[in-house]
Structure 1
Amino acid sequence: MSELDLALVHALQVRPRASWSDLAPLLGATAVTLTRRWERLTKEGLAWVSAVPGPAFAHGGCTAFVFLRCAPAARERLAARVAELPEAVTVELLAPGRADLMLDVLASDPGTVHRFVDEELAALPDVLDVECVFATSLYAEGSRWRLGSLDASQLSVLGRPRAGDAAGTPLADLSALDRVLLDALVRDGRTRLTELADLTGTSAATARRRLHRLTTGGVVAFRCDVAPAVSGLPVSVTFRGHAPAHDVNRLHRTLATLTECRLLAAVTGAANVLATYWLRDIGAVQQRETAACAHLPALRITERVLGTRTVKRMGHLLDGAGRRTGVRPIRPW
């Protein structure tokens, strides 16, 4: 990975659908060079842009975290099978402990999550136990995580990405055309308007208008994901803990500000805090826990869950090195 590659990825984390000609002056390279660099990164599975639920999903949809236990010999088989299910948007294998797999589940409502957990997951022959907790507030998630390769002046030029309206387009109002657009953008968030028009049988102007409605309405957002070879952070750890109710709303001002925070949520259950960090090595786990408790003294860590491999991330299948190998489109809308 060159410095230009890293800067390009960071720029796309801020503005995932920016044109190469817009980014060229900022990064000191030609649009042709950026195009070639990005094609190599995506071909090798090192980085990719995809569509994910926008701010409106927090009001019209439901996020849950599911922990599965199975026989040791069934771990890989079960992970591969669960990764085929669109509701399980992220699937991670865990180090031996109380659970063997951790899933991020997105659905339209809690009832749909319950049916998926009780009727599909619990019925799988390899599953021995299931635990499901719901996110009541999401303070940090993958689309907000940054590589840190651009300096302050470059970030100033890029500007802040415009957030969609959390109370925008109702998810139930999506048309068949909208859903085709979303499917294509989950596969490749940088799909050109002309290609989207061909897929939907409309004009580029119509595709642009529908996409603008989806983004400004908060239905969809975009994020640039990377393999560990790019991030330099191969260790994933999830802390589960308990904080007093009056401290939970401080999470976004405390734990989310810690370096390498990838996910932070208030959740249901006795352990009402769930936080995931990407770290450089196993020795940093204790450092992150110490820092988290120093920022929020009332927090009591009850479980440390070490991820051994991410099988699927937001609909994208990954190999043992965390490189993208395929797509299983998510459909939480």
Structure 2
Amino acid sequence: MAAAPGKKSATVDEMDIKLTHALQTAPRAPFAVIGSVLGVSEQTVARRYRRLRTSGAARVIGFVDPEPLGRQNWMLRLFCRPDASGRISHALARRDDVQWVAILQGGTEVDCVLRPRTLDDQDQLLLQQLPRTVQITGIEAEAVLHVFRGSTTQDWRVGPDFLTPDQEAQLLAGTPERSDRPVQLTERDEPLLQALMLDGRASYADLCAAGGGWTEAQVRRRVTELREGGLLYFDVDLDDAFFGNPLVARVLLTVAPAHLHAVGEAMARHPSVRFCAATTGSTSIMLSVGFPDVDSLYRFVSEDVARLDGVAQAQVEPITRAVKRAGTIVR
């Protein structure tokens, strides 16, 4: 189900938006705490979250960040024939280390985000599999250098600023803080991580049942260790159409080096920018944006981006179809 352009879905109201906002602040906060902050019952919060998750509007997901493992996030642009974009995008979507896949430019480009766990996985895809695919006519691989806005840095929030600093503190109470203590992943962690990728709010009892031979106390301790080490983090996967922004696009900016940080910081504060990062490659900054209509996207480029010093070029690429979002294939 998708909302009409520029309008929120009839199934999403202000309380749903406030709940989603709260979950973006603290994805695993207890429903009782969220209810207390929002002024509703724990049962109301649980019921509304189940409806949001079932409808595909919003859900909490657990992710592995490859950076503490010494790996980089890669953004791949694959240029291909339109009749092959569907097969290529679905083949990429079946890989566990590919977190996001979309078809752009009317079917002539497939983009994906690669988060490799090992160098072998990275090299196998970038140096062997993709170059041998005859339907792919060109490949651009860009490494992420710095994230200005993302799930762990100045995260974007749906709706206005609903929460006071005290309410945010209530939601974040008990959330493990990042430490410098190194943590390594083991094979025993895999069932736990796979379960959290499917449901980031899975209970510790459910995570025990996923496998790995953990006790509930061990699961609780291990999740805390992985979060403190920066290897595991949680985010909220949203379907923008449900929240009144059916037009999603990628915007690539070419920026003079002296202005790179200032432009990145400015874009990270824009309410329509979901993700903003400096990257390698022919362009300098990549943005993920969502808007209610084409006019709003045009004004963003012609006014908001245009007024920034140092921006030499802006390339806009509307997303034709999302194939995989937040680690899950879109049906």
User: Shorter-chain TM-score category?
Assistant: 0.7 to 0.9
CA distance in 1, matches of 2:290, 2:231: 27
Displacement of 1:104 in angstroms is 1.0
> 1:232-264: CA deviations, max 9, x gaps?
111112122221222222244211111211111
The answer to whether structure 1 residue 165 and structure 2 residue 178 are counterparts is yes
> 1:171-203: CA deviations, max 9, x gaps?
xx2222323221111111001011112333222
In the superposition, relative to structure 1, how do residues 278 and 110 fare at CA in structure 2: closer, same or farther (>3 Å)?
farther
Q: Between the two proteins, what is the percent identity of the paired residues?
A: 23
Secondary structure of residue in 2 paired with 1:101 = strand
Is contact 2:74–2:143 with CA below 8 Å preserved after alignment?
yes
Name the counterpart of 1:215: 227
Displacement of 1:299 in angstroms is 1.0
2:72 to 56, 62, 65: 62
What is the aligned residue count?
314
CA RMSD of aligned residues (A): 2.4
CA distance in 2, matches of 1:137, 1:109: 20
Is contact 2:259–2:309 with CA below 8 Å preserved after alignment?
no
The answer to whether structure 1 residue 2 and structure 2 residue 13 are counterparts is yes
Secondary structure of residue in 2 paired with 1:118 = helix
In the superposition, relative to structure 1, how do residues 302 and 228 fare at CA in structure 2: closer, same or farther (>3 Å)?
closer
Displacement of 1:59 in angstroms is 6.7
Name the counterpart of 2:218: 206
CA distance in 1, matches of 2:272, 2:301: 12
Is contact 1:236–1:307 with CA below 8 Å preserved after alignment?
yes
Secondary structure of residue in 1 paired with 2:115 = strand
CA distance in 2, matches of 1:60, 1:197: 29
Instruction: Map residues 24-103 of structure 1 onto 2, 5 A cutoff.
Output: 24-54=35-65, 57=67, 60-96=70-106, 99-103=108-112
Name the counterpart of 1:322: none
The unaligned stretches of length 5 or more in structure 2 are 1-11
Displacement of 1:39 in angstroms is 1.4
The answer to whether structure 1 residue 131 and structure 2 residue 145 are counterparts is no
The unaligned stretches of length 5 or more in structure 1 are 320-333
Secondary structure of residue in 1 paired with 2:202 = coil
Name the counterpart of 2:261: 249
Name the counterpart of 1:316: 328
CA distance in 1, matches of 2:176, 2:271: 23
Letter of the 1:132 counterpart: A
CA distance in 1, matches of 2:160, 2:28: 18
The answer to whether structure 1 residue 304 and structure 2 residue 316 are counterparts is yes
The normalised TM-score by structure 2 is 0.86
CA distance in 1, matches of 2:63, 2:252: 25
